[in-house]
Structure 1
Amino acid sequence: MRRVGILGGTFDPPHIGHVILANEVRSALQLDEVRFMPNHTPPHKKKTESISNDERLKMLELSIAGEPYFKLEKIELQSPGPSYTYNTMKQLKEKEPDTEFFFIIGSDMIEYLPKWYRIEELVELVTFVGVKRPSYSSETPYPVILVDTPQIYLSSSMIRDKVKKGKSIKFLVLPAVQQYIEVNSLYES
């Protein structure tokens, strides 16, 4: 049985925290691969005025280029409406019945699990893997494997804000992503 990690998010833009986290979880749980799954419309976030799905995909491709254990999962971008993890994972399990899925979340989402759509059924489809984030609790009534990873306080919104203010994002995103943002004038005011 294949063991596949799923790291979902807006990835607007993807940053080094995403790839470090994916690598640490893959190594700790000996996963065959980790798939980066950009969501179409997250039900828990308001859509920002940001960038297109194609631009997010391109930056993800640049972020994982050359990493044999990292793949893109586009299923949520191909589904209209809000991206509910239950619906997505049900589809993936139907397509890949011989795969064990590990859904990777930060402590901010661990706290939010009781509010997830169809959470009782979702925990039957996936194994949740939690990683700590500063100032969030890892307490939950749901089964979550906690993986110790470097705690990096970094967010996509922080990066967008820096670009908007003309500040450097060097070392916060991979060099190819930084170049893509600069060449395409993304996130500028």
Structure 2
Amino acid sequence: MAKIGILGGTFDPPHYGHLLIANEVLSELNLDEIWFMPNQEPPHKQKSESVENSDRLQMLELAIRENPAFTIEKIELERTGPSYTVDTMKILNERFPDHQFFFIIGADMIEYLPKWHKIDELIELVQFVGVERTRYSSETDYPITYVDIPAFEVSSSMIRERVQLGKTVRYLLPDKVIDFIREKHLYET
């Protein structure tokens, strides 16, 4: 049975924090692959209105290209409306009955778990993997496997703000993604 980690998010833009989390979970849990799953419309937060899905997808492809264990799962980009994890996991479990899925979430999402759509059904479909984030509690009554991740305080919103202000984003995300952002003039206004 293939063991697959899923890292969902807007990836607007993808950064080294995403890659670090994926690599640490891959290694620590001895997974076969990590599937990066960009959201169409996350129910809990807004994605940037200025960036097309095709641009987010291209940035993600550039970011993960160097690691053969990383791939992109586009299932949520193919659907319209809010992306509920329970619906996605039902489809993935049907499509890949020989896979075991591990859904990676940060401590901010661990706190939010009681509010997830059909959470009691969802915990039967997937094993949650929690990673620490400062300023958030990782305590929950839900079954979670924890993986320690080296602290790296970076967020997509911080990167967007820095680009908008003309500040450097070097060493926060891969150079190929930075080049793409500059070439397409993303996040500048």
TM range (shorter): over 0.9
Report the equivalent of 1:22. 22
Equivalent AA in structure 1 for residue 60 of structure 2: L
What TM-score do the two structures reach when normalised by structure 2? 0.99
Report the equivalent of 2:115. 115
Paired residues for 1:33-182 under 5 Å: 33-182=33-182
8 A Cα contact 1:12 1:50, kept in partner: no
Q: Structure 2: how far apart are the matches of 1:59 and 1:131?
A: 23
Unpaired runs of 5+ residues, structure 1, are: none
Deviation at 1:46, TM superposition (A): 2.6
Equivalent AA in structure 2 for residue 31 of structure 1: L
8 A Cα contact 2:12 2:48, kept in partner: no
Q: Structure 2: how far apart are the matches of 1:170 and 1:69?
A: 25
* Residue-by-residue CA offset, 1:29-87 (whole Å, 9 max, x unaligned): 00000000000000011343230000000000000002110000000000111000000
Q: Structure 2: how far apart are the matches of 1:151 and 1:123?
A: 27
8 A Cα contact 1:9 1:38, kept in partner: yes
Report the equivalent of 2:12. 12
8 A Cα contact 2:8 2:39, kept in partner: yes
8 A Cα contact 1:19 1:64, kept in partner: yes
Q: Structure 2: how far apart are the matches of 1:3 and 1:116?
A: 24
Q: Please, what is the CA RMSD of the aligned residues?
A: 0.7
Find the residue that maps to 2:149 and give its secondary structure: coil
Q: Structure 2: how far apart are the matches of 1:178 and 1:122?
A: 36
Q: Structure 2: how far apart are the matches of 1:87 and 1:146?
A: 24
Deviation at 1:151, TM superposition (A): 1.5
Q: Structure 1: how far apart are the matches of 2:2 and 2:49?
A: 38
Q: Structure 1: how far apart are the matches of 2:36 and 2:127?
A: 16
Report the equivalent of 1:3. 3
Equivalent AA in structure 2 for residue 27 of structure 1: S
Q: Structure 2: how far apart are the matches of 1:140 and 1:127?
A: 14
Count the aligned residue pairs: 189
Deviation at 1:152, TM superposition (A): 1.2
Deviation at 1:153, TM superposition (A): 1.1
